[in-house]
Structure 1
Amino acid sequence: MTEFPNLSRRGFLTRTAAVGGALTVPGLLAACSKTDAGASGEGSTLDKLKKQGYVRVAYANEAPYGYEEGGELKGEAPTLHREIFKALGVDELRPAFSEWDGLIPGLQAGKYDVISAGMAIVPERCERALFSEPEFISPTALMVKRGNPRKLTDLASVKEAGVTVGVMSGAVEKNYATAAGVSEDRIKTLQKPQDGADAVKGGRIDAFLLTGISLNWLARNNPGLQVTDSFVPELDGVAQYSPGGAVFRQGSEDLRDAFNRELKKITSDPARYVQLIGEYGFGEDTIPPADLKTAELCKG
């Protein structure tokens, strides 16, 4: 079986809203009950959601994963989750905003039923909540000037060309670059994704290293730049897939398992997967490998 890492890919991006696709949100910031839908009483968690006709979801306002714009909840996770819950007989998503570090505590407190924020599957989070199987992986890419004048394709080509590459402060991409043999003096640290785009445009760096998902989104508002095909970097010989998924409260195994059955139908159908969330920068290269399993990711 393939070995997969357990790295958080989602701790360094700024939590800002952006533009994109569409789910109507009635009363975005309405207060939520703290009652655990599956903690007591008769019936499963899913049965209770079917009966009430909605599921309470939390998002962190981070494009393109889950964010609000103009009274609508948009992004990869809400779009995918809406499709899955409809198939399960629950027609409505009722969203609540949370800061990133409040997502799991809010779930544990019963403020919502599911986290719809593209959260990375890592062992320390698995100890506190239930994760779905991966919804996506986050392969890496390079942002370069249009035409890709240095003909860069991956970190090996960056090293060979002797060019300067930018990485986000505190992000794992610096580790990827050094592991590939890029010298420290050829790695520049930046604070925000837009800083990376501006540095490429201004010629201060030759390429900006980040997930393909985030770079494709960034490229929409930065003409004159392009994103290379994604690639999967390695650390100590282990492929860095950086998967994310939906998150459920402990004790809601029935809901997670039902969700997983519907999720598999989507991730097993590339055309449907891309049709649903392609507008947010997700494509066939972000579909999780069939043998990438949450149970293994949670072991660490």
Structure 2
Amino acid sequence: MANYPNPSRRGFLTRTALLGGALAAPAALTACSKTDDGGAATPDGKGGVLAKLKDQGFVRVAYANEAPYGYLEGSDLKGEAPTLHREIFTALGIDELRPTLSEWDGLIPGLQAGKYDVISAGMAITPERCAKALFSEPEFISPTAMMVKKGNPDNLTDLASAKTAGITIGVMAGAVEADYAEGAGIDSGKIKTLQKPQDGADAVKSGRVQAFLLTGISLRWLAKTNPDTQVTDPFLPELDGVKQYSPGGAVFRQGSEDLRDAFNTELKKITGDRQRFTSLLGQYGFAETEVPPAELTTATLCKG
């Protein structure tokens, strides 16, 4: 079996930076979406967590208000995770998602405290997080891509081509993409640090950098508001010879194994059908390149 890393690329970023200014949930909506801590779904000897959720007719989900992973638009909960999870829970006989807004750092503590049943935020699967909660199998992977000027004048395809072209690459401050660039042999003098995604797009358009490195998911979302740019096909960078997949998944409270297992059964039907996956999530920038390979498992990722 391949040796899969556990990159928490999205842990290196402040998650709101992916929006270039996160969508803010209206105060009234935020208040309405929160539930009290009582009544947390726990195994009760009468069918477990899944049975309880089916009986009550809804599942409480947490989101961090960050596009394209999970966010409110008006009163609608949108994004990769809520869209995918709504499809799965409907198949499991639970028709309603009741959202709770959380700061990113509070997602797992809130889950442990029983404030919600599932984290629907596209959270990266890492050993540290696996020690605190249960992860689904990977919902997606996050291959890297480059934003370039329209027409791709330097004919860039990956980091090797960027090194050959001798171009300057932009990366976000504190993000792992700088390690990817250096690992590909690009001189540190050719790597420019930027503070947020829109800074990267602006640097590409002005010519201060010839490429901006980030996940294809985030760059395709960013390109919607930067029409003078384009995004290369995604690729998998390597560190020390290991491909960097950056997988994410749903998160459940420990003791919810029955819910997690049922969720995984329905998830596999979607990730095993590329057309269905892209039909559901294409609107958020997820393409076939984000479909997790069948051999990539959470058990392996959690071991580190």
Task: Give the TM-score taking structure 2 as reference length.
Answer: 0.94
Q: Percent identity?
A: 71
User: 1: CA distance between counterparts of 2:73 and 2:51?
Assistant: 31
Whether the 8 Å CA contact 1:30–1:96 is kept in 2: the answer is yes
1:274 to 278, 281, 294: 278
User: 1: CA distance between counterparts of 2:15 and 2:133?
Assistant: 24
2:289 maps to what in 1?
A: 285
User: 2: CA distance between counterparts of 1:30 and 1:132?
Assistant: 24
Shift of 1:34: 3.3
User: 2: CA distance between counterparts of 1:159 and 1:73?
Assistant: 41
How do 1:159-178 and structure 2 match up within 5 A?
159-178=163-182
User: 2: CA distance between counterparts of 1:220 and 1:165?
Assistant: 21
The C-alpha deviation readout for 1:184-226, integer Å capped at 9, x for no partner, is 0000001100000010011100000000000000000001000
How do 1:1-300 and structure 2 match up within 5 A?
1-11=1-11, 12-15=13-16, 16-17=21-22, 28-40=32-44, 42-300=46-304
The C-alpha deviation readout for 1:18-68, integer Å capped at 9, x for no partner, is 59xxxxx89753333333211546331000000000000000011000011
Whether the 8 Å CA contact 2:54–2:94 is kept in 1: the answer is yes
2:2 aligned partner, one-letter code: T
Q: In 2 relative to 1, CA 28–231 (structure 1 residues): closer, same or farther, beyond 3 Å?
A: farther
Shift of 1:17: 3.6
Secondary structure of the equivalent of 1:251? Answer: coil
Shift of 1:270: 0.5
Shift of 1:14: 4.0
1:260 aligned partner, one-letter code: N
Farther off after superposition, 84-93 or 34-43: 34-43
User: 1: CA distance between counterparts of 2:61 and 2:30?
Assistant: 13
- Unaligned 5+ residue runs, structure 1? 20-24
Shift of 1:130: 0.1
- Unaligned 5+ residue runs, structure 2? none
Structure with more helix by fraction: 2
The C-alpha deviation readout for 1:142-163, integer Å capped at 9, x for no partner, is 0000000011110000100000
Task: Give the TM-score taking structure 1 as reference length.
Answer: 0.95
Moved over 2 A (4+): 16-19, 25-36, 39-43
Secondary structure of the equivalent of 1:298? Answer: helix
1:22 maps to what in 2?
A: none
User: 2: CA distance between counterparts of 1:82 and 1:17?
Assistant: 22
Secondary structure of the equivalent of 1:223? Answer: coil
Whether the 8 Å CA contact 1:13–1:192 is kept in 2: the answer is no
The C-alpha deviation readout for 1:151-180, integer Å capped at 9, x for no partner, is 111000010000000001111100000000
Farther off after superposition, 29-38 or 103-112: 29-38
1:72 aligned partner, one-letter code: D
Whether the 8 Å CA contact 1:14–1:192 is kept in 2: the answer is no
User: 2: CA distance between counterparts of 1:256 and 1:265?
Assistant: 15
Shift of 1:267: 0.4
The aligned length equals 295
2:77 aligned partner, one-letter code: L
Secondary structure of the equivalent of 2:267? Answer: helix
Secondary structure of the equivalent of 2:7? Answer: coil
User: 2: CA distance between counterparts of 1:298 and 1:54?
Assistant: 29
RMSD over equivalenced CA pairs, Å: 1.5
Shift of 1:248: 0.1
